[in-house]
């Protein structure tokens, strides 16, 4: 089931554009206004819930930090567990890490080694708010697979399509909104 034109417009209109943040020439997509708009948030979460009901997922994994918000709401609606994928040094137990490239240097994300319990091959949906170049999400999907689960799809609220971040993914990619 896809969003109607009206539903898409409500979601898009609820996202604030911040020009020149974090540096000149960038238009930052601020989802805090979406979170504060119950009608837009409910439309979005109903859409995602309906999309993923038939996937028979075991977990939703969300990327630090905005992926935690959408991912945990979706996991609750689907009646399944939520797993955080965090920036290096933020998880308290034994972790597995994955480095990824940034414009200038590298960063790293981690997941608990036992994030998906004893269930080998657990079906996991990866969620984040935005895909730009895709580095963080590709690293997170790799981590899910490294700890014995299966990342069945990566879902994003927005995709900056002109940056081609979905290219090179080893899993399906779905974005609610595409920005060219």
Q: What is the pLDDT of residues 121-143, one digit of tens each?
A: 999 999 999 999 999 999 999 99
Residue 177, strand partner residues: 158
Q: Indicate the pTM of the whole model.
A: 0.96
Give CATH for domain 55-179: 3.40.50.2020
Would you tell me how many other CB atoms lie within 10 Å of the CB of residue 56?
10
Beta strands in 10-133 (DSSP E): 16-19, 27-30, 59-63, 81-87, 95-102, 105-112, 123-131
Q: Using the 8-state DSSP alphabet, how is residue 168 labeled? A: T
Helix, strand, or coil here: 98? strand
End-to-end CA distance of the chain: 23
Q: Give 6-45 pLDDT, tens digit per residue.
A: 999 999 999 999 999 988 998 999 999 999 999 999 999 9
Spell out the domain ranges in the chain. 55-179
Helix (H) or strand (E) holding 80: none
CA distance 86 to 158: 20
Which pLDDT score is estimated for 164? 95
59, 85, 94, 112, 148 from 89: Cα distances, Å? 23, 11, 11, 11, 21
- Confidence tier at 180 by pLDDT (50, 70, 90): confident
In contact, 74 and 51? CB cutoff 8 Å: no
Average pLDDT over residues 144-157: 97
**d(Cα 26, Cα 176) in Å, to the nearest integer?**
21
Rounded to the nearest 10 degrees, how much is the dihedral formed by the CA atoms of 31, 37, 38, 44? Answer: -40
Indicate if the pLDDT at residue 169 is higher than 80: yes
Residue pair 109/102 in contact (Cβ under 8 Å)? The answer is: no
Q: Which residues are identified as catalytic?
A: 66, 103
């Amino acid at each position: 089931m896809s969003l109607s034109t009206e539903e898409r417009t409500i979601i898009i209109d609820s996202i604030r554009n911040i020009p020149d943040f974090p540096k000149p020439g960038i238009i930052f997509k601020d989802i805090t206004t979406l979170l504060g708009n119950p009608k837009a948030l409910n439309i979005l979460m109903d859409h995602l819930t309906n999309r993923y009901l038939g996937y028979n997922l075991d977990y939703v994994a969300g990327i630090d930090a905005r992926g935690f918000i959408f991912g945990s709401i979706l996991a609750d609606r689907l009646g399944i567990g939520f797993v955080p994928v965090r920036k290096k040094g933020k998880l308290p137990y034994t972790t597995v890490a994955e480095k990824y490239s940034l414009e200038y240097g590298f960063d790293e994300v981690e997941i608990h080694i036992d994030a998906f319990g004893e269930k080998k091959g657990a079906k996991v949906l990866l969620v984040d708010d935005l895909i730009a170049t895709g580095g963080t999400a590709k690293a997170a999907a790799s981590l899910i697979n490294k700890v014995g689960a299966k990342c069945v799809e990566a879902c994003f609220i927005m995709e900056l399509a002109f940056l081609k971040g979905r290219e090179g993914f080893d899993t399906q990619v779905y974005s609610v909104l595409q920005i060219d």
